[in-house]
Amino acid sequence: MNRRRALAALATAPFALLAAACGTRTEVSTAASTTSTPPTEVPTTPGITHPTGGDDVVISLTYDGGFVAPGTIFTRLPRLLITGDGSVYFEGAQIEIYPQPLLPPVLVGRISEGELQALLQGAESGGLFRNITYGPPEANVADAPNTVLVINANAATYTHDAYALGLGGEDAETDKDRHNLLEYVSLLEPIANGVPDTRSFAATRFAVRATAADEVPPADGITPNELAWPEGSGIRLADAAECQVVAASSIGMLFNEATQITRFVDNGIKYVLLVRPMLPGDLGCAAR
């Protein structure tokens, strides 16, 4: 498969045509893409092997570090996450209101196996199925994030980590490896803006970090609401100064009632929480 043709197809072709654009013929059902059942894909040629479970990460794109507000790194979610069953996770648009909801709007859609194969073939043809040590950008850039791309395929894990990727524009990436990575990432980015059959994602576990409320001044003119921390949650907020993982089943809809300045009352003490819905592959408290 010609690399540039494949990458161009990924950027412009509808999802149902991606596999054909990369040279893999598939038979696709004629069901409308608006139905809840994804099209049936029947590969007729061998593809790239990858984990197939709904909790198995195949492609992950994350922006890590950078000059950000305190707590941002703890709550940061992948820009794009694709699992073995074709589920595609991405963060939706946050509503413009203050205080904002405690939980970010996480969405999940689905692509077919043929479409996932097209993405993997694009990575392979872009030279990303290998371990690469990326040098710094030519421009002197401070406080920029790292672009982190993880691919699990062919029984191997390929992790690409490049500082300040593309901040000077595509033409500024004169290093071949950095340029190839930026080219592929730029094709993944539109997928994070929406795929078919998108719905809200309901996490089954949350990573939590608690700070005593007297250490966090309230917002001017706004009185935070207060919520009682459930006795049956399995954790105490006094023990969550760094991180604790709590099951969604043990707290019900508590987080849905909260904002980013809500005070959670546990054992008579008020806390402010940072909360991260745990997506597939999230290591919880070991993650960061």
Is there a domain that residue 248 lies in? yes
Determine contact, residues 204/248, Cβ cutoff 8 Å: yes
Residue 216 and residue 177 share a domain: no
Is there a domain that residue 253 lies in? yes
CA angle 245, 249, 255 (to 5 degrees): 70
Can you tell me which residue has the tokens 């074709």?
A: 86
Residue 142 and residue 39 share a domain: yes
Task: Tell which of 150, 166, 193 closes a domain.
Answer: 193
Query: What is the extent of the structural domain holding 125?
Result: 3-193
Task: Tell which of 149, 170, 193 closes a domain.
Answer: 193
Its pTM surpasses 0.85: no
pLDDT tens by residue, 13-52: 434 334 333 333 333 332 333 333 333 344 434 699 999 9
Residue 208 and residue 185 share a domain: no
Can you tell me which residue has the tokens 């340029």?
A: 179
pLDDT mean over 75-95: 95
Angle (deg, nearest 10), helices 176-188 and 3-12:
30
Cα separation, 259 vs 223, whole angstroms: 12
- pLDDT-derived band at 96, boundaries 50, 70, 90: confident
Residue 152 and residue 21 share a domain: yes
Residue 147 and residue 258 share a domain: no
Residue 67 and residue 180 share a domain: yes
Q: What is the tally of structural domains in the chain?
A: 2
Residue 115 and residue 20 share a domain: yes
The pLDDT score that the predictor gives to residue 116 is 97
Is there a domain that residue 288 lies in? no
Give the other-Cβ count within 10 Å of 171's Cβ: 7
Residue 260 and residue 119 share a domain: no
Residue 256 and residue 185 share a domain: no
* Sheet architecture: strand order including 106-110: 156-163, 146-153, 57-64, 80-83, 87-91, 106-110, 199-200
